[in-house]
Structure 1
């Protein structure tokens, strides 16, 4: 049948599994499952539990997977491809095997020497970059810088459709650790206030712009002190912390890659919508235009590009 599914495409990270039943580039159905960090089931069991209805209806479809499922903590480790890497190099580096009658294809991550001269790695973001190029061919021509905010934010240089190098920032994980495990947000009662959150975030960005040469470690304790002395609310303080971290992340990215961030017409931001909006605001504060793109949709598009290259 011409309308039958052709494959399953999945974004499988530490906390989430997002599977898409596809016919070519068209997504027919979606289903979610546990990330690889979930203790309840093996990756193989979790995958086949999630797709059981599809397997019953359509038989053993090929399953294309990207993300941390190919890491050392995932199902099977897939060695990193080296930069420069485009669709051809990444397709050659994928791991293929069979499980329960299905062909399983897991994407390779990418390694590089970053602009600071250190080893760096990504796993999953490279597929999103391929998806952006597949859906926006102009991004595959010339030189572009992509921002991929998340737990481990990536700043990546793409030249003529190939990932050349990138820099990782621990911004997302740092924020989560300080929010949940430090004393910084334990000086006021938790509250929810959208206006306060925007006000706090903007204040954090402004603080970073005012004190560009001051290390982040010298500013973070303000989050607690402002609650104790100035009566800053919990919502304000949480957003202020986010503004400090994202503001300094963007500030630190400005000189990378020979200052490319200041010269491009617009920066594609691939990430969750709310986080992409915060990075857009931080870039805008430096006069840099940004274009948020949907990370999940681009993962599917990137896997489809690999499947049909």
Structure 2
């Protein structure tokens, strides 16, 4: 691949398309020039091609035929071109080699593969998109290629990623964000009203699941309704309490996971949106676990930079 002055990097998940126009630098990582958003894979009305090019057309008009790199559900069976799941344990240093490459409207497009793992309970787990943010996290500090680390990527499907000596050893998914959306919008628990985040209500919800007996999660969910009925929660506090219940349950599972010893590790790096990362950080710190919060856009761009450099390093016949 020729060295270009600009590239387009696209994080195309189930709910959102996030595109980044980046300037390629000789000796430093990509520089973010502009951002754009559009519909997620599950919400595309027309074709993936039209959705993408409608989103980034102003950039293409100005900069011409630039290479496009994509991650996320766009590479799933629901997306544009399906890519493989690379089995763990795996190093991320050669992930670009396994991508799907094609040309569309004169643009070279690469979709990066996801990861899969099989846990000790014989369940499979998969990710698409978070592998690139994890790669960016590793690239940010080369000391992270040594030792054992746990990375949390909160979101619709929260990922807990175990890294050993620079390899993704395994990971576990929790449907924290999707459950919050479903229970907020399609259950009797939350009455539609204007609500802002309520810290005391959030902590009350987190405390409930952190301190309750195993198996009481579904009972705890109903407490969102019962506490409103008896005046212990207002309607506007209910969503914050529910968020605390769900994140508390997620963190409790991480604390008790047999795949790692979180108290022994002592620290979790969190890659996610600021507010959500802060919520996970608060609950982890209740257990005395230190947290290192990383900006998701920074990790994404560092990951795309690493992928671009991997592709540039390929022999010309593979580009």
Shorter-chain TM-score range: over 0.9
Partner of 2:193: 190
TM-score when normalising by structure 2: 0.90
Deviation of residue 193 (structure 1)? 4.5
**C-alpha distance after superposition, 1:248-281 (max 9, x if no partner):** 1100111225443212242111111111111001
1:263-282 pair list within 5 angstroms: 263-282=264-283
Greater shift, 265-274 or 119-128, is seen at: 265-274
Partner of 1:117: 122
SS of 2:221's partner is: coil
CA distance in structure 2 between the aligned counterparts of 1:135 and 1:36, rounded to whole angstroms: 29
State whether residues 115 and 256 of structure 1, in contact with CA within 8 Å, keep that contact through their aligned partners in structure 2. no
Partner of 1:69: 74
Deviation of residue 93 (structure 1)? 1.4
Greater shift, 77-86 or 260-269, is seen at: 260-269
Partner of 1:11: 11
Deviation of residue 213 (structure 1)? 2.5
Confirm or deny that 1:169 pairs with 2:169. Answer: no
CA distance in structure 1 between the aligned counterparts of 2:215 and 2:89, rounded to whole angstroms: 34
**C-alpha distance after superposition, 1:15-58 (max 9, x if no partner):** 22111121221112222222212242211111111222222222
Deviation of residue 172 (structure 1)? 1.1
Partner of 1:50: 55
CA distance in structure 2 between the aligned counterparts of 1:168 and 1:114, rounded to whole angstroms: 11
Task: Call closer, same or farther: CA 1:203–1:231 in 2, change over 3 Å.
Answer: closer
Partner of 2:302: 301
Q: Over aligned residues, Cα RMSD in angstroms?
A: 1.8
1:138-287 pair list within 5 angstroms: 138-186=143-191, 190-194=193-197, 197-287=198-288
Deviation of residue 185 (structure 1)? 1.4
State whether residues 16 and 33 of structure 1, in contact with CA within 8 Å, keep that contact through their aligned partners in structure 2. yes
**C-alpha distance after superposition, 1:56-87 (max 9, x if no partner):** 22221110111111011111111111112223
CA distance in structure 1 between the aligned counterparts of 2:253 and 2:168, rounded to whole angstroms: 20
Partner of 2:315: none
CA distance in structure 2 between the aligned counterparts of 1:37 and 1:119, rounded to whole angstroms: 23
State whether residues 146 and 164 of structure 2, in contact with CA within 8 Å, keep that contact through their aligned partners in structure 1. yes
Deviation of residue 236 (structure 1)? 1.7
CA distance in structure 2 between the aligned counterparts of 1:38 and 1:5, rounded to whole angstroms: 32
CA distance in structure 2 between the aligned counterparts of 1:244 and 1:48, rounded to whole angstroms: 40
In structure 2, runs of 5+ residues without a counterpart are 25-29, 311-319
State whether residues 195 and 237 of structure 2, in contact with CA within 8 Å, keep that contact through their aligned partners in structure 1. no
**C-alpha distance after superposition, 1:128-161 (max 9, x if no partner):** 0001111222222211011111111111101122
SS of 2:170's partner is: strand
Deviation of residue 214 (structure 1)? 4.2
Deviation of residue 99 (structure 1)? 0.6
SS of 1:14's partner is: coil
CA distance in structure 2 between the aligned counterparts of 1:173 and 1:115, rounded to whole angstroms: 25
Confirm or deny that 1:35 pairs with 2:40. Answer: yes
Task: Call closer, same or farther: CA 1:254–1:20 in 2, change over 3 Å.
Answer: same
Partner of 2:313: none
Deviation of residue 176 (structure 1)? 1.1
Q: How many residues align?
A: 303
**C-alpha distance after superposition, 1:217-256 (max 9, x if no partner):** 1211111011111252122211111111110110011122
Partner of 1:103: 108
Deviation of residue 295 (structure 1)? 1.6
